[in-house]
Structure 1
């Protein structure tokens, strides 16, 4: 794989396709997919083939926006998804084509002169904006950076103004994973018949804040990031039924989203990182409750049995790149994220590797896939035939 091929595909996608598609409901994943494939060692030909034959099915050409976005009005249309093209054009003008575009990129994200900084909205839209931000940095791609700013702007939602600005919990005494596990065991946590609408859970601020304030946030931000990341791994990989291995489409975004925060941390000041971590934990509570509080059983990862010849990343990467899994963006991102985590945090008795092997060995590659339909390899949608080990 060469950067020339990757950069060319990223540039083409930026010029042709807007960041939202399917009636502005779904987010573009092209940069994530290409970047994760490249990180795992995909060839130039494979990148081009998957982009041409798969990614283009999940993208739409730009549609004209109601009006131009300028320095004077750019905050006025935040959250309005009709402005994909106008924000793309605006941010494309703002980021320098020569020299250090990253400086201006983060200046735009962190600007708080006329309101909340845009980065505070980056966890909106099921964390897709912050994932896009991290891939812009990881790929050193100015086009992806313009897309990331655009996606953040048009996806602003109620998380942009969280309750009480979510100060770090002052008197918490529990770890993040412990808080999550206790939600399921307590009678006053909601019991849902099916996955709930995110916004309906988000409205229950008093309940969410009660759980949120139980967390003892580590003073060391690196430790806080590692703790929340490992919590996300367990929520992703240790919440299925003991006899039926499945992975939830919504909850997997906690894993890739937390990895995104880790990726961009070096570019942010301490207070910004704290805000993102607080908002992430609050969002994790919302998502965990909305997906009916599946039981978190660490043994489903820690004691997962693996054949000796599979106990290596070469097996994981080969199965990811050389089966149908390569065409499923969320799978590729999850595997790339887990592999990077082991490089950062160490083996932890195979914690990340076991989760990756479990993923590639149990995601269904035989059924025909129809993106965002029930025959995807993921579960968690209201019409899915299977479910995690949820609270009834």
Structure 2
């Protein structure tokens, strides 16, 4: 049984998007590898805060139906550069139990494993649901602080939390909470500032959509050019320094409502995929922005979050607000590139599709290109970002069904498999795997123009 200290997968814990059913042997091996990572590795693989993605990578492969050998290879390729776990100080863990002392350890990566043990202890006493209610959703200063940090680090903590809940692994939920606690506070400050602006000046009923706000941000020259190439963090050091009021003004126009939460969740998912896929620079070869990609990769978990029976409607709306407000800031921070929908609709895949059956958590879709796309992503040698992106795009297709007639629904129909092919073609293409900050000309300097076929 999975516990706060023990990872235990079964073929039944397969996640929301599946290519094929898993085996007990693969479940056991994946559990073993994740347990090794849990016990032996830090959540950052260097002092600069670059994330350990082993959990994300292996669970994505496992959920989609990758083989045991493919999962073992992914682990082997990415375990040798991880930092070892740091020694836990019992005194620190005990001190964290004092709410007045807890906050002095926040934002310091050296306390990751202390936080991990602390949350395991809390979870063993209270269960994972009550632990999340207390430390993320209580609405007090501590919970607000940690919830905001969940969206830091380009959304890595909330991605980690999503994997823990989706695959029913309390130990990974503990990792997510500990990871959030050692991230910076600036994300919390921005999100809470938007929330405060809405509370002090509630917006009038509006038809503002995410695509509409993306267009408005792009046409606002002050905001769309606020980030500079040399900014260390283009949201923190660019947007929130040179155009904070403008950013808060646009973000505060989009507010989730309990009555439309399902539709707005799909809007968030569809829109994240839209601005990530459409931000291209022809005739350069198709590449995806490394930072926008995280907006897509985190989108897949919100249906899972909102299925939690203990989560109030207020907290569901709050989580979705935070996600959308950060997505809007992320778009602006890469200099708000033009979104070229025709780059998706006219895309010519590099390879012919493999037309086989794919089974997912919502039924069976036959004669699609997804099996071939995923098999190529299983073989791609990275740290898991690529296959996570493919899975999240496929999820976008599933959840967008029935909403194609909405004005905000920019990705629909045949465009989904086009984007799936764009993902795998782009990572297999020459040059770096990802473009970084696609609204800047500098982001595209190393990439060649597309082969003639892809421009027809």
Same fold (TM over 0.5): yes
Relative distance call for 1:202 and 1:257 in structure 2 (3 A) is: farther
Q: Residue 304 of structure 1 aligns to a residue in which SS?
A: coil
1:371 matched to which residue of 2?
A: none
Q: What does the per-residue CA deviation read over 1:105-160, in whole Å, with 9 as the maximum and x for residues that have no partner?
A: 44433234553343332111110010000000122112211111110111142222
Alignment of 1:267-346 (within 5 A): 267=308, 268-306=311-349, 309=353, 312-322=369-379, 325-346=380-401
1:224 aligns with 2:264: yes
Classify the secondary structure of the residue corresponding to 1:250: helix
In structure 2, the partner of 1:242 is 282
In structure 2, how many angstroms separate the alpha carbons of the residues matched to 1:84 and 1:206?
Answer: 34
Candidates 184, 207, 226, aligned match of 2:218: 184
Bigger radius of gyration: 2
The match for 1:14 among 24, 29, 38 is 38
Q: Which residue of 2 aligns with 1:55?
A: 78
Contact 2:435 2:443 in 1 (8 A): yes
Q: Quick check: 1:183–1:189 contact (8 Å CA) kept in 2? A: yes
Partners in 2 of 1:149 and 1:251 — Cα distance? 23
Unaligned runs of 5+ in 2: 1-21, 355-367, 405-411, 448-456
**Aligned pairs, number:** 376
- Contact 1:123-1:280 within 8 A present in 2 as well: yes
Tell me the residue number matched to 1:110. 137
Q: What's the counterpart of residue 77 of structure 1? A: 105
8 Å CA contact 2:58–2:71 kept in 1: the answer is yes
| 1:285 Cα deviation after fit | 2.3
Q: Distance in 2 between matches of 1:152 and 1:71?
A: 17
The answer to whether the Cα contact below 8 Å between 1:163 and 1:205 also exists between their aligned partners in 2 is: no
- SS of 2:97's equivalent in the other structure is coil
Cα-to-partner distance string for 1:155-191 (whole Å, 9 max, x where unaligned): 1422223215354862233211111022222333342
Counterpart in 2 of 1:163? 193
Cα pair distance change 1:278/1:355, threshold 3 Å: same
Where does residue 434 of structure 2 map in the other structure? Answer: 378
Alignment of 1:212 onto 2:251: yes
Q: Where does structure 1 lack aligned partners over 5 or more consecutive residues?
A: 368-374
For the 8 Å contact 2:136–2:143, the answer to whether it is kept is: no
State which of 391, 415, 427 in structure 2 corresponds to 1:351: 415
Distance 1:235 1:164 in 2: 22
| 1:134-145 aligned within 5 A | 134-145=162-173
In structure 1, the residue corresponding to 2:142 is in which secondary structure?
A: coil
| SS of corresponding position for 1:174 | coil
Going from structure 1 to structure 2, the CA distance change for 1:78 and 1:342 (only over 3 Å counts) comes to same
SS at match of 1:7: helix
What is the distance in 2 between the residues matched to 1:149 and 1:209? 27
Distance 1:303 1:251 in 2: 21
Q: Distance in 1 between matches of 2:341 and 2:396?
A: 18
Aligned to 1:261: 302
Following the alignment from structure 1 to structure 2, what is the Cα–Cα distance between the partners of residues 234 and 55?
Answer: 30
Query: How far off is 1:51 after superposition?
Result: 0.5
Candidates 135, 148, 158, aligned match of 1:120? 148
2:452 corresponds in structure 1 to none
User: CA–CA distance in 2 between the matches of 1:83 and 1:216?
Assistant: 35
Inter-CA distance 216–50: structure 2 relative to 1 (3 Å threshold) = closer
Q: Distance in 2 between matches of 1:159 and 1:12?
A: 31
Deviates more, 1:337-346 or 1:32-41: 337-346
Question: Using the alignment, how far apart are the partners of 2:382 and 2:291 within structure 1?
Answer: 19
SS of match in other structure, 1:116: helix
Task: Name which of structure 1's ranges 57-66 and 333-342 shifts more when overlaid on structure 2.
Answer: 57-66
Matched, 1:3 2:11: no
Greater shift in the superposed pair: 203-212 or 224-233? 203-212
Residue number in structure 1 paired with 2:240: 202
Of the candidates 148, 153, 157, which is equivalent to residue 181 of structure 2? 153
Assess if the C-alpha contact under 8 Å between 2:78 and 2:383 holds in 1.
Answer: no
Q: What corresponds to 2:87 in structure 1?
A: 64
Q: 1:6 to 1:103 in 2, by over 3 A?
A: farther
Are 1:42 and 2:66 matched, yes or no? yes
Report the Cα distance in structure 1 between the residues aligned to 2:255 and 2:40, rounded to whole angstroms: 46
Q: Which residue of 2 aligns with 1:372?
A: none
Q: CA RMSD in A?
A: 2.7
